């Protein structure tokens, strides 16, 4: 199992276009999901350097291309959250990353015409395949760090044995959610189920399912890296 961090250069992506607007202080992908048809759902947080930023928000909205469907815009004092869907034909770093079963560590930082990706992948072969997928999609990348976890006997249950060991200290709902995601093919390629369907299967809201899944994934990452801090 490996923890990888790399910069992926995608100047043409909507996130990067927005990050380059005037008075934008930071741009983060808080959540993302890839649907069966290849469409990508994105939740983006944009922080501004000035309280009055309605003109910049309008710039954000005006930068939405034809292959992107804007769902919602939520304004706060210095933050705007955008929720949108990228069409299946548009190039997407998140989609290409998802193809290899890469468990992303959110938020994804967007800055200087790049997306800073970090997360867990199970095999070095998968890492090489991931790099090949990026190259095929014409996405340039720079590897910042790869950390291998050699505790293969201890970690093997993560891939082959469910429910997860209590060593990871998951709550009951976190365990059930990530177990359902794994069993139903959420981490498969192509993805066999989306978060909305998992939520319906469990009888909970989509936002609750997201929360449990992301917290479980974060605990897994902490477990992998506990002996090899970054």
Same domain, 144 and 160: no
Same domain, 116 and 207: no
Average pLDDT, integer, range 71-87: 85
C-alpha–C-alpha distance, residues 129 and 26, integer Å: 31
Same domain, 33 and 141: yes
pLDDT digits (tens, 9 = 90+) for 192-225: 888 899 999 889 999 899 999 988 888 877 766 6
Same domain, 14 and 100: yes
Domain tally for the chain? Answer: 2
Same domain, 144 and 165: no
pLDDT digits (tens, 9 = 90+) for 94-129: 888 887 778 888 889 998 889 998 888 776 667 788
Same domain, 102 and 62: yes
Same domain, 48 and 65: yes
Same domain, 72 and 143: yes
C-alpha–C-alpha distance, residues 210 and 52, integer Å: 31
Q: Is the pLDDT of residue 65 over 60?
A: yes
Same domain, 90 and 38: yes
230 belongs to a structural domain: no
Q: Is the pLDDT of residue 50 over 70?
A: yes
Spatial CA neighbour of 197 closest among 213, 188, 186: 186
Boundary (domain end) residue, out of 120, 148, 176 = 148
Range of the domain at 141: 2-148
Same domain, 157 and 97: no
| Max Cα–Cα distance, the chain, nearest Å | 55
Whole-structure pTM value: 0.64
């Amino acid at each position: 199992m490996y923890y990888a961090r790399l910069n992926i250069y995608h100047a043409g992506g909507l996130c990067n276009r927005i990050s380059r607007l005037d008075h934008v202080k930071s741009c983060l992908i808080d959540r993302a999901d890839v649907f069966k048809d290849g469409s990508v759902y994105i939740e983006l947080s944009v922080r501004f350097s000035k309280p009055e930023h309605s003109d910049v928000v309008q710039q954000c909205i005006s930068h939405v291309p034809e292959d992107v469907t804007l769902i919602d815009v939520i304004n706060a004092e210095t933050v705007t959250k955008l929720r949108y869907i990228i069409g299946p034909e548009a190039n997407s770093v998140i989609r290409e990353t998802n193809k290899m079963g890469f468990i992303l560590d959110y938020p994804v930082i967007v800055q200087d015409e790049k997306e800073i990706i970090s997360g867990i992948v199970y095999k070095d072969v998968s890492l090489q395949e991931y790099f090949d997928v990026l190259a095929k999609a014409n996405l340039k990348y720079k590897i910042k760090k790869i950390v291998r976890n050699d505790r293969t006997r201890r970690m093997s249950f993560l891939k082959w044995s469910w429910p997860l060991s209590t060593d990871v200290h998951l709550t009951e709902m976190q365990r059930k959610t990530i177990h359902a995601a794994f069993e139903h093919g959420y981490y498969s390629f192509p993805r066999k189920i989306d978060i909305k369907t998992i939520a319906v299967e469990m009888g909970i809201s989509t936002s609750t399912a997201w929360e449990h899944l992301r917290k479980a994934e974060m605990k897994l990452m902490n477990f992998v890296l506990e002996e090899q801090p970054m």
